[in-house]
Amino acid sequence: MTVALLAHLHGAVPLKELGEKISASGFTHIQLALWKAVSDVDFSEPGRFSPGLATAIGAQLAKHGVSIAVLGCYLNMCDRNERQRRINIERFKELLRYAKFMGAPMVAFETGKLEGGYTDNDWAVMRATLAELAEEAEKWGVFVGLEAAEGHLVGTAPELARMLEDVPSRQIGVVIDPGNLMTADNFGRQNEVIEEAFVLLGTRIIAAHAKDRLWLEDGSLGVVPAGLGTMNYELYMKLLNQYKPHVHIIMEEAKEHQMAAAKAFIEEIRERV
């Protein structure tokens, strides 16, 4: 029942130092966004990868007993600028091609945000993009992980379920994160939001994220490390164990001095419920 770490919570460091930092923090698995976590290789444009580089990344981490649970990207896959969207798609597809050399089973993303609201055309563009990514993933035997996030084109569990219906590839899985589904309007009925997400998406989950939410003094809904908020982790972990036992949980938000406590909080509940 592994709790993994978002690698760039340590900031960007040279590749040779990354595994050591992760291991020293008490983690054996990570979500790795290379252009956020690695400082000495330029991944800003597609074309940098080779089997040798990808193998070296996995090997450097393995020296310290660390493996990649998820490759992240943080790219806007529904960008209305067609040229930029095409660059983002090619960067993602490159990760899909080389994921196995790094020992990663999936490449995951949130769809991205657009100004001025979303149109039917935006949805159609995202649907076509996801279908293209799924086709590439099938060639290389890895998963595409899709995550809903409030404010994004795919922002709710029902929207994510709809997108999965529109692109019916079993190569697409869900990265579940109830914290991403919480808003000022629905946090008071968070149990319903969490339960709905598992009813709609539970069988498609391939990874999970862990952050916490709470009301701040100014009346806004804040984001904090797991255990420092008021999100119902008992329910979250219970449903996660029920639907997807042993799925990797990637811990977000925590600063270095908060990592051990947040990890222990998640593990204690997950083992108990």
243-263: average pLDDT: 96
What digits encode the pLDDT tens for the residues 200-234? Answer: 999 999 999 999 999 999 999 999 999 999 999 99
pTM: 0.96
Mean pLDDT across the chain, nearest whole number?
Answer: 97
CA nearest to 96, candidates 53, 145, 37: 145
45-52: average pLDDT: 93
Domains in the chain: boundaries: 3-272
Indicate whether 252 pLDDT > 90: yes
98-116: average pLDDT: 96
Question: To 10 degrees, what angle do helices 157-166 and 120-140 make?
Answer: 60
Q: What is the pLDDT of residue 200?
A: 98
What digits encode the pLDDT tens for the residues 148-177? Answer: 999 999 999 999 999 999 999 999 999 999
- Cα of 139 vs its chain's centroid, Å: 22
Residue 20, helix vs strand vs coil: helix
237-258: average pLDDT: 97
9-17: average pLDDT: 96
Q: What is the pLDDT of residue 52?
A: 97
Measured from the Cβ of residue 90, the count of other Cβ atoms closer than 10 Å reads: 12
Q: What is the pLDDT of residue 1?
A: 57
Distance CA 15, CA 37 (A): 8
Indicate whether 80 pLDDT > 60: yes
7-14: average pLDDT: 96
The fold of 3-272 is: TIM Barrel (3.20.20)
Residue 225 in tokens = 């490390």
25-39: average pLDDT: 97
Binned at pLDDT 50, 70 and 90, residue 2 comes out as confident
63: region left, alpha or beta (phi > 0 left; psi from -120 to 50 alpha): alpha
What percentage of the chain reaches a pLDDT higher than 70?
Answer: 100
Binned at pLDDT 50, 70 and 90, residue 45 comes out as confident
Beta strands in the chain (DSSP E): 3-6, 29-32, 67-72, 106-110, 143-147, 172-176, 205-210, 212-215, 221-224, 249-251
